[in-house]
Amino acid sequence: MFSFSVTDVRAVITRGRIDAVLNGGFRNPHGLTPGQNERTGLWLVGDEGVYIMSNGKLAEDQRPLVVYAQECDPKTNPDYWYYKRQHFGGDDGVEFLDAIMLGKLIAAAPTATHLTIAMTDNGLSLALVRR
């Protein structure tokens, strides 16, 4: 399971929207056709650790806002690689999370402090918790 503060999730979504307004829309992950089904959201990325990042288009040399999962940050968890393999898999990957759906989920649990994401072979499970 991967945990992100609700504050950080909101910040990533907001940054993606700002980048989209300033730079002409939203990016699709690799393998999808540009200009189709692009919408506001964030990406859950398994790479060197696991993190969420904004999907707004970027200006040249601009970097997206990236927030690592509390359990899988290479800077704070020396076992991040093993945790990533166990809970995300050994390969790199990207999962899109719709911002409108996340907004509704967060609004339905106003006292929640963290978004948790659990991955299975068949999909993702999102939950909000208070810590």
pTM given for the model: 0.90
Which tokens sit at 98? 């719709």
- Which tens digit of pLDDT belongs to each residue from 77-91? 999 999 999 999 888
| Encoded amino acid at 80, one letter | Y
- Which tens digit of pLDDT belongs to each residue from 74-125? 999 999 999 999 999 888 889 999 999 999 999 999 999 999 999 988 889 9
Domain locations in the chain as residue ranges: 7-108
Quote the Cα angle for 42-44-47, to 5°.
135
